[in-house]
Structure 1
Amino acid sequence: MSCPTLIDFEASCLPEYGQSFPIEVAVARTDGSSRVWLIRPAEAWRYWDWSEEAEQLHRISRDMLETEGVPPPQVLAEMAEFVRGCDVYADADLDQYWLEVLCQGAGAALPFSVRYLGEFLKDRGFTRPQVVAALEEAKRRLPQEHLAREDARRLALVVRLLVESQAS
């Protein structure tokens, strides 16, 4: 099973601290495959806000984005290809917002929508104790937080653990 797919963004700062832009995005399938991109800032974001606190938390600097980042159109194209045919979920509404900001920076249409993970869990009938147990196990296996690559993989693992427990 490779679907659903989970997505997570990291940003230059949280929206309540200013006008933020996406700096990293990761998508992870429940089969364990994943992709991650550092996002080179679009010209339109040149004067948007940057939080030193976010930089320390994510360990991603402006210099890293300039030298290692991928242009927004390329990120969108590769990401859309990776998630093709899958529903995409996130654990926060902000991920949809940052996908929209990424699209605006790339001058592109929204390639897919991001749904709230809680919908999937509810539709599948998972109970709160089941979700908490799966989340605890996923955090034990993948403890690093606030990095898109790890957060997306951990969410995908939560879903896989839940689906596997339902099948047995």
Structure 2
Amino acid sequence: MDGRDRAWLIRPAEAWRYWDWSEEAEKLHGISREQLDREGLPLAQVISEMADFAADCSVFADADLDEYWLEVLCQAAGRGLPFHVRYLGEFMKKRGYTRPQVVAALDEAKRRLPKEHLAREDAKRLALVVKLLLDEPPQGLST
């Protein structure tokens, strides 16, 4: 939420070599398997850098799939999870935000940051949603 961000291209683990690779996903994300093989960083390095970057932070995601993929990365690298990924909905519920407030913040974040399906851009948009909600008075962002 402080505006800092990081993204990594990850070199696929050998155990993943025979996983399906979808041309549709490649086009959606704009990343080819060849690019990952050529430019991707080793798993252990990425996990260490992620842990350093997220140190002393609470990490949230909008789907449990994000923690699953972190587990897949860590398992392939022979490491434990460097941090827990919590569900963003829990944060919003605990803060008492209403569905209309969240939808309005999400719509505004999508307007400001429309690029989707790249981890960095998706994370920046979610951080903006939270910032918009936190910057508004409790009754703000209603529709």
TM surpasses 0.5: yes
Whether 1:99 and 2:70 are equivalent positions in the alignment is yes
Q: Any idea what SS the aligned residue of 2:8 has?
A: strand
Q: Does 1:54 align with 2:32?
A: no
Aligned to 2:40: 69
Q: Which blocks of at least 5 consecutive residues in structure 1 are unaligned?
A: 1-29
CA contact (8 A) 1:40 1:70 kept: yes
**Which of the two has greater strand per residue?**
1
- Kindly indicate whether the alpha-carbon contact (under 8 Å) linking 1:32 and 1:157 is maintained by their aligned counterparts in 2: no
Which of 1 and 2 has higher RCO (CA within 8 Å, sep 6+)?
1
Equivalent residue number for residue 161 of structure 1: 132
Distance in structure 1 (CA, Å) of the matches to 2:89 and 2:137: 17
User: Percent identity of the aligned residues?
Assistant: 72
Q: Find the residue that maps to 1:158 and give its secondary structure.
A: helix
Structure 1 letter corresponding to 2:71: E
Scaled by the length of structure 1, what TM-score is found? 0.80
Partners of 1:68 and 1:125 in 2: CA distance: 43
Q: Distance in 1 between matches of 2:2 and 2:115?
A: 20
Quote the residue 1:140 is aligned against: 111
In 2, Cα distance between the equivalents of 1:148 and 1:166?
29
Matching residue's letter, 2:68: Y
Q: With structure 2 as the length reference, what TM-score do the two structures score?
A: 0.93
* Residue 82 of structure 1 pairs with residue 81 of structure 2: no
Structure 2: segments with no counterpart, 5+ residues: none
Distance 2:78 2:13 in 1: 10
RMSD of aligned Cα (Å) = 1.3
| Residue pair 1:91, 1:116 contacting (<8 A) in 2 also | yes
- Structure 1 position 136, deviation (Å): 0.8
The number of equivalent residue pairs is 139
Max radius of gyration: which structure? 2
Question: Post-superposition, which runs of at least 4 consecutive aligned residues in structure 1 deviate over 6 A?
Answer: none
